[in-house]
Amino acid sequence: MTAIFKHSLTKMTICGMIMMMLVGCATVKEMNLGQKYENSKSWVKEKWHSMEDKLSSSEDDETALQPYSKNSNYLVYRTKWSYETLPGIAAWFTGDSENWKTLAAANPKLKPKHIPAHQPVLIPAKLVKKKTRPTEAFAAKYRVYYFVHQVRWSGESLSLIAKWYTGHYGNWKKFGASESGPESQSYCAG
């Protein structure tokens, strides 16, 4: 939600609470309406200030990058969603998704197309153009959907695997294959 929408929603909520209190005040006979109104004004003022504080210290304004204690040439970003990718992180923080290769070299243990949530990612400080946390919509834009297929029998071709997963032999062109020893893997884009 944008800050303007949050602000408008807060105002409408407080106005609704004031109306409910005033309606409730009319039914109470022990206390006069003026005194109830004054009490409600101070309560609303207190709530208004606490909500403004929450809105002004929004997570969007905070820096998502922290200094890396072992090397001052790097900053650390801790991922928020389980579907973040190095190209997405590079695009957000450096302005160029092609910088994912530099990030991959700095983070050799990470899978570039699938990084678990809360995983630290090193980013060279000289490449950083933006320090705020990426939005969920932006991170989702770089999400990669795929299945990993282990080849178990001789004769399994990409076209046969394509037929199994997609229903059409011709979809083998959309697959990327990776050789990893005696058993190879096929990455099927979804």
Q: Residue 51 half-sphere exposure, CB side, CA atoms within 13 Å?
A: 16
The residue with tokens 């991922």 is 79
The residue with tokens 């699938």 is 114
The CA–CA distances, whole Å, from 65 to 72, 98, 129 equal: 12, 20, 11
From the list 6, 13, 19, 24, the residue with the least C-alpha distance to 47 is: 13
| pTM, entire model | 0.48
pLDDT at 44: 67
pLDDT at 41: 65
pLDDT at 7: 74
Domain ranges, ordered by start, for the chain: 3-56, 65-141, 146-189
The CA–CA distances, whole Å, from 1 to 26, 41, 165 equal: 36, 28, 38
pLDDT at 178: 45
Q: What is the DSSP letter of 125?
A: G
Name 45's Cβ contacts closer than 8 Å, sequence gap at least 6: none
Between helices 3-27 and 33-56, what is the axis angle to 10°?
Answer: 160
Residues of the chain with pLDDT under 50: 28, 56-60, 177-187, 189-190
pLDDT at 48: 64
Name 78's Cβ contacts closer than 8 Å, sequence gap at least 6: 64, 66, 118, 119, 120, 121
3-state secondary structure (DSSP) of residue 149 = strand
The residue with tokens 């809105």 is 55
Q: What angle do CA 144, 147, 152 make, to 5 degrees?
A: 150
From the list 108, 123, 111, 100, the residue with the least C-alpha distance to 178 is: 111
Cα 78 to Cα 153: distance, rounded to the nearest angstrom: 40
